[in-house]
Amino acid sequence: MLTTLAIGNYRSINHLVLPLGQLNLVTGANGSGKSNLYKALRLLAETAQGGVIEALAREGGLDSTWWAGPQASARMKRGEVPIQGQHPSEAKRLRLGFATEDFGFAISLGLPIPLPYPTAFMLDPEIKTEAIWGAGAYRPASLLVERKNAMVRAREGNSWTVLDQHADSCESFFNIVGRPRQAPEIGELRAFINSWRFYDHFRIDRDAPCRQPQLGTRSPVLHHDGRNLASALQTIIEIGEVEDLVAALDDAFPGSRLEIDAPPGGLFSVRLHQHGLLRPLGGAELSDGTLRYLLLMAALLTPRPPSLMVLNEPETSLHADLLPALARLIIRASQRSQVWVVSHSAPLIEALSACDGCNVLELEKIQGQTQLSGVGLLDEPLWRWVD
Apex 330 CA angle, 329 and 332, nearest 5? 65
317 near 308, Cβ under 8 Å? no
Do strands 308-312 and 338-342 pair parallel, antiparallel, or not at all (unpaired)? parallel
The DSSP output letter for 337 is: S
Give the span between the Cα atoms of 334 and 310, in whole angstroms.
Answer: 11
pLDDT at 23: 98
Task: Of 98, 99, 96, 89, give the one whose Cα is nearest residue 13.
Answer: 96
Counting as low any pLDDT under 70, the low residues of the chain are 70-90, 115, 118, 122, 177-181, 377
Strand partners of residue 338:
308
Task: Of 256, 275, 238, give the one whose Cα is nearest residue 325.
Answer: 256
Strand partners of residue 126:
110
pLDDT at 83: 54
Give the span between the Cα atoms of 278 and 385, in whole angstroms.
Answer: 62
Which residues lie closer than 8 Å to 136 by C-beta, 6 or more apart? 99, 104, 142, 382
User: Computed over its alpha carbons, how large is the radius of gyration of the chain?
Assistant: 23
Task: Of 183, 117, 114, 122, give the one whose Cα is nearest residue 147.
Answer: 183
Strand partners of residue 6:
17, 97
CB atoms within 10 A of CB 175: 18
Q: Which residue stretches of 210-345 are H helix?
A: 229-239, 242-252, 288-300, 323-333
Q: How many residues can be counted in the chain? A: 387
> Which H helix or E strand runs over 6?
strand 2-10
> Which H helix or E strand runs over 9?
strand 2-10
302 near 329, Cβ under 8 Å? no
> Which H helix or E strand runs over 42?
helix 34-49
Strand partners of residue 365:
370
- Average model confidence (pLDDT) across the chain: 90
Which residues lie closer than 8 Å to 75 by C-beta, 6 or more apart? 81
211, HSE (Cβ side, Cα atoms, 13 Å): 16
